[in-house]
Structure 1
Amino acid sequence: MRTLGIDYGNKRVGLAISTPVGGIAQGLQTIERIDGHDYLEELAEVIKEKEVGEIVVGLPKNMNDTIGEKAEEVLVLVETLKSKFNIPVHTIDERLTTVRANRAMAGAKMTKKGKKKRVDMIAAQFILQSYLDQNRRNAEEDWEVD
């Protein structure tokens, strides 16, 4: 079972997928959110093709840990994904993932437009990797013996 990571933005939806054993996040395409284009259909194709068993969506909390307008929009998306795809959908705090993604590309020899297209995918990788790492730590704690 693979896990799909999503960085949901106003213009683009960045995607990342876990390896089959779930240890590493790999970047996928970015879906453009263009008027009249149903990005959920494109997402459905990815879910089917990659055999996704669960989804994790970055939740953009405010720096003071409150839920703002954008986070409310993401929570609506989470409910939509749960009902449309009938698989578990989780959220994880995504504060500063886009900043980290931009820093990761700082030395890359890419055009500004090229970086803009990749930043959401890289942010989705950070979101997914954080989720995978958190799950691995929780599993290791469950295995600890007193």
Structure 2
Amino acid sequence: MSFKKYLSLDVGDVRIGVARSDIMGMLASPLEVIDRKKTKAVKRVAELCKQENTKSLVVGIPKSLDGTEKRQAEKVREFIGKLQKEIEGLEIFEVDERLTTVSADRILTEMSVKGAIEKRKVVDKIAAAIILQTFLDMKK
């Protein structure tokens, strides 16, 4: 039985949430939030792929509640294109990310994480973990 490790991205204009799977590719956990104003995001994702020893990326594609794609989905795909130029042999899996940030926000509220600034620091990586867990569960 072969196992595969994944990284997951919740790509936003300001921040990118990153999550990783365990070595068996079964459980997702939040990893970090990349601040796009302070960090070269493509380069950082490439570094994380190297650190985590994977070329398999799960990326959330934002859709409207009715399933249509908006401008943000185009922006995410543009970012994916940049990643594919930077990282040789990159394998991309797209996942519908509707409501993941809402779910992540709810989880933080249940965990009693108070305040917009505190939530903002972690909500994106939790959303990335939800995207990844959704993907891993679909694969089973």
TM-score, normalised to structure 2's length?
0.90
Distance of 2:74 and 2:64 partners within structure 1: 11
Q: Which amino acid aligns with 2:27?
A: I
Q: Which amino acid aligns with 2:53?
A: E
Distance of 1:126 and 1:107 partners within structure 2: 15
Q: Which amino acid aligns with 2:68?
A: T
Q: CA deviation at 1:134?
A: 0.8
Q: CA deviation at 1:111?
A: 4.1
Q: CA deviation at 1:53?
A: 2.7
Number of residues of Structure 1 aligned to a counterpart in Structure 2: 135
Q: Which amino acid aligns with 2:14?
A: K
1:52 alignment partner in structure 2: 54
2:122 alignment partner in structure 1: 118
Q: Which amino acid aligns with 1:116?
A: R
Q: 1:63 and 1:109, CA in 2 relative to 1: closer, same or farther beyond 3 A?
A: closer
Please, which runs of 5 or more residues in structure 2 have no aligned partner?
none
Map 1:1-146 → 2, pairs under 5 A:
1-34=4-37, 37-86=39-88, 87-112=90-115, 113-136=117-140
CA contact (8 A) 2:42 2:82 kept: no
Distance of 1:110 and 1:93 partners within structure 2: 26
Distance of 2:24 and 2:94 partners within structure 1: 20
CA contact (8 A) 2:17 2:126 kept: yes
- The runs of 4+ residues in structure 1 deviating greater than 2 Å are 107-111
Q: Which amino acid aligns with 1:120?
A: D
Q: CA deviation at 1:73?
A: 0.7
After superposition, the C-alpha distances for 1:64-107 in whole angstroms (9 at most, x for unaligned) are: 11111001111111222222212111110000000000000113
Please, which runs of 5 or more residues in structure 1 have no aligned partner?
137-146
TM-score, normalised to structure 1's length?
0.87
Distance of 2:55 and 2:40 partners within structure 1: 22
CA contact (8 A) 1:81 1:89 kept: no
1:144 alignment partner in structure 2: none
